[in-house]
């Protein structure tokens, strides 16, 4: 495409099917640990 | 819902509900909101004076293609996921063990009141620690991966107990069908070769605390006698980071109103040779002189943008000057599922903190706060009402998250910060939200710019 370049192809919607297994790392979101957004985590179930 | 921003010469359009992120030219950047309903005449009338009609038609064709592929103008279809989450058996998968409610530093901004957590100085016994491991195993259902963080105060002030707890968990994990991942957070004062070797052998991750430049660090992180900590800890941290091959650790600092030029602290740590760096804003009421105020935000945003640009250049250059800044990490292709994005950290449900006496709290930041004790490791959860309250804490339950584009990236923020500053776990701390949104944009800009430059070549 000329006007748009898409950065990612994985669609959030597709994670609904097998999502929610809960094996992923806990993501503390306070500022006193190495807090993180969940967005920088990876899935344990791929 | 879409969100767009332009930073460091890159235009980004995010389609929030699909998670798609697009780098776009000026034409699409201008028309993307106006074209949401697919009304070509409206776009032509509004932008015909700026762009040629054939160019606008071409841009709209591309947007149609993306809409067709469900990567633009998608709708929120995720409410059913909450039922899926609620249907799960409640399990605990991570514990924060407060090994020592005591500390050998007197950090000015410490939420734990210099390690004492609104209580008195105390150390966890190995009996309490082992009971915590048993509690975790018994309450983890079919989860295999279990996390235990050794926290304080300063956990190295009670290191023999850390070792006993690790040995106990390792001895039983296989027969229980579990896999423990241990982490430790330390200020480094007591770090030595023996402890370093132990940490490297047993800890999946280690978080070491330094605020950056010597004068910045020593002002906020003095030792008990008032002298600075920088000279003692920096050589130890450098050695530790090298011994871990510069991976599986984070050197983390806190910036305050006193160092709004915190990029200099991040770069200082990079210059010291650290490759995994995390520096975050202090959280506190505006009555604290060092707390971040709303009026500081423009300055902080500029600092984040400059840091993102610098990091982008260093990534491009590679080699010795390159480093990883935790808060600009973002996994756009293989990140967590929607369920995880809706519930976030799981404090009070999947994640609990344990005091030296064995009391359970929703997380380390709630420890000692009246009304937040949930039970203890010997008898388990007693305050089910409180557990339910935390269980119902998700992005759809928070009024201010409902219209926020960042909600699938931040998951509604920190419940403890919300409670401390807004008095309600469902009311996110807005100044923190503002900074979080900026960090997400910076993280995306770094990837977007790399892609845009690669495409140009």
List, for residues B152-198, the tens digit of each pLDDT value: 999 999 999 999 999 999 999 999 999 999 999 999 999 999 999 99
CA–CA distance, B9 with B104 (Å, rounded to integer): 47
Label residue A15 by pLDDT band (50, 70, 90).
Answer: confident
DSSP-based three-state secondary structure for B80: helix
User: B428-434 long-range contacts, Cβ below 8 Å, gap at least 24?
Assistant: B428/B398, B428/B400, B428/B401, B429/B283, B430/B400, B431/B292, B431/B293, B431/B294, B431/B297, B432/A31, B432/B281, B432/B283, B433/B400, B433/B404, B433/B406, B434/B294, B434/B297
* B24 at A interface, C-beta within 8 A: yes
Residue A33 confidence (pLDDT): 58
Contacts of B326 in chain A (CB under 8 A): 34, 36, 40
* Contact B18/A at CB under 8 A: yes
- The helix/strand/coil state of B5 is strand
Q: Measured between beta carbons, which residues in chain A are less than 8 angstroms from residue B185?
A: 33
Name the helix (H) or strand (E) containing B442: helix B430-456
Cβ of B410 and A13 within 8 Å? no
Per-residue pLDDT, averaged over B293-302, amounts to 98
User: What is the percentage of chain A residues whose pLDDT exceeds 90?
Assistant: 13
Per-residue confidence band for B335, with pLDDT thresholds at 50, 70 and 90: confident
Verify whether the Cβ–Cβ distance A37 to B94 is below 8 Å: no
Of A11, A22, A24, which has the smallest distance from its Cβ to B18's Cβ? A11
Beta strands of B109-248 (E only): which ranges?
Answer: 122-123, 145-151, 179-186, 205-209
Q: B331 — contact with chain A (CB < 8 Å)?
A: yes
Q: Do A10 and B334 touch (CB under 8 A)?
A: yes
Tokens of A39: 């967005």
Rounded to the nearest angstrom, the minimum Cα separation between A15 and chain B is 5
Give the residue on A whose Cα is nearest the Cα of B333.
A10
C-alpha–C-alpha distance, residues B6 and A30, integer Å? 28
The minimum CA-CA distance between B22 and chain A, rounded to whole Å, is 4
Q: Does B15 touch chain A (CB under 8 A)?
A: no
| Cβ-Cβ contacts under 8 Å, B144 against chain A | 23
Residue B88: which pLDDT band, with cuts at 50, 70 and 90?
confident
| pLDDT given at position A32 | 53
Candidate from B18, B333, B345 with C-beta closest to A26: B345
Among A3, A18, A46, pick the best mutation site for testing chain B contact (most B Cβ within 10 A).
Answer: A3
Residue B170: per-residue pLDDT = 98
Residue range B50-83, pLDDT digits in tens: 999 999 999 999 999 999 999 999 999 998 888 8
Q: Check CB contact under 8 Å for B65 and A3.
A: no
Beta pairing partners, B211? none
User: Does the beta-carbon distance from B336 to A26 stay under 8 Å?
Assistant: no
Residues A16, B408: Cα–Cα separation, whole Å: 13
Is there a contact between B332 and A10 if contact means CB atoms under 8 Å apart? yes
Structure-block tokens of residue B201: 């052998």
Q: Give A41's pLDDT tier (boundaries 50, 70, 90).
A: low
Average pLDDT, chain B: 94
Q: Compute the nearest-CA separation of A1 from chain B (Å).
A: 7
- CB contacts of A43 in chain B (<8 Å) are 334-337
At residue B80, the pLDDT reads 84
pLDDT of residue B340: 86
Q: Is the pLDDT of residue A36 over 70?
A: no
Q: What is the ipTM of this complex?
A: 0.88
Q: B410 with B436: CB under 8 angstroms?
A: yes
pLDDT confidence of residue A30: 55
In which band, very low, low, confident or very high, does the pLDDT at A29 lie, cut at 50, 70 and 90?
Answer: low
* Cβ neighbours of B203 in A, within 8 Å: none
Q: Is B397 on the interface with A (CB under 8 A)?
A: no
Q: What is the pLDDT of residue B447?
A: 93
pLDDT over threshold 50, residue A35: no
**Do A4 and B147 count as a contact with CB atoms less than 8 A apart?**
no
Least Cα distance to A23 among A43, A9, A4 occurs for A43
Residues 191-220 of B with CB under 8 A from A: 207
């Amino acid at each position: 495409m000329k006007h748009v370049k898409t950065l990612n192809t994985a669609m959030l919607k597709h994670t609904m099917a097998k999502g929610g297994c809960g094996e992923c790392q806990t993501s503390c979101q306070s500022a006193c640990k190495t807090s993180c957004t969940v967005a920088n985590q990876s899935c344990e179930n791929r | 819902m879409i969100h767009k921003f332009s930073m460091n010469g890159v235009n980004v359009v995010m389609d929030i509900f699909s998670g798609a992120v697009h780098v776009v030219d000026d034409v699409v950047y201008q028309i993307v909101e106006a074209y949401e309903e697919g009304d070509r005449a409206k776009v032509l009338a509004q932008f015909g004076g700026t762009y040629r009609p054939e160019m606008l038609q071409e841009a709209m064709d591309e947007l149609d293609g993306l809409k067709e592929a469900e990567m633009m103008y998608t709708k929120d279809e995720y409410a059913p996921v909450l039922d899926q989450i609620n249907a799960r058996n409640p399990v605990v998968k991570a514990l924060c063990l407060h090994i020592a409610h005591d500390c050998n530093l007197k950090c000015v901004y410490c939420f734990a009141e210099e390690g004492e957590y609104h209580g008195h100085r105390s150390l966890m016994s190995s009996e309490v620690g082992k009971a915590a491991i048993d509690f975790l195993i018994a309450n983890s259902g079919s989860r295999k991966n279990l996390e235990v963080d050794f926290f304080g105060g300063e956990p190295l002030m009670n290191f023999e107990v850390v070792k006993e707890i690790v040995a106990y968990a390792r001895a039983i994990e296989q027969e229980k069908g579990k896999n423990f991942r241990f982490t430790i957070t330390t200020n480094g004062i007591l770090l030595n070769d023996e402890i370093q070797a132990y940490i490297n052998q047993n800890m999946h991750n280690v978080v070491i605390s330094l605020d950056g430049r010597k004068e910045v660090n020593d002002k906020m992180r003095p030792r008990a006698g008032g002298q600075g900590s920088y000279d003692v800890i920096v050589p130890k941290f450098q050695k530790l980071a090298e011994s871990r091959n510069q991976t599986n650790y984070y050197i983390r600092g806190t910036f305050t109103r006193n160092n709004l030029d915190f990029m200099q602290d991040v770069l200082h740590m990079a210059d010291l040779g650290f490759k995994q760096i995390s520096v975050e804003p202090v959280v506190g009421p505006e009555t604290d002189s060092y707390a971040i105020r709303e009026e500081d935000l423009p300055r902080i945003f500029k600092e984040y943008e400059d840091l993102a640009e610098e990091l982008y250049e260093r990534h491009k250059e590679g080699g010795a000057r390159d480093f990883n800044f935790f808060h600009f990490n973002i996994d756009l292709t293989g990140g967590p599922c929607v369920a995880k994005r809706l519930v976030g950290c799981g404090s009070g449900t999947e994640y609990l903190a344990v005091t030296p006496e064995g009391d359970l709290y929703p997380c380390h930041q709630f420890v000692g706060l009246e009304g937040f004790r949930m039970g203890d490791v010997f008898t388990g959860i007693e305050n089910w009402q409180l557990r339910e309250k935390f269980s119902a804490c998700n992005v759809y339950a928070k009024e201010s998250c409902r219209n926020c584009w960042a909600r699938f990236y931040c998951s509604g923020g920190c419940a403890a910060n919300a409670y401390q500053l807004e008095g309600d776990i469902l009311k996110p701390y807005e100044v923190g939200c503002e900074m979080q949104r900026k960090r997400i944009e910076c993280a995306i800009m770094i990837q977007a710019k790399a892609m845009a430059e690669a495409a140009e070549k």
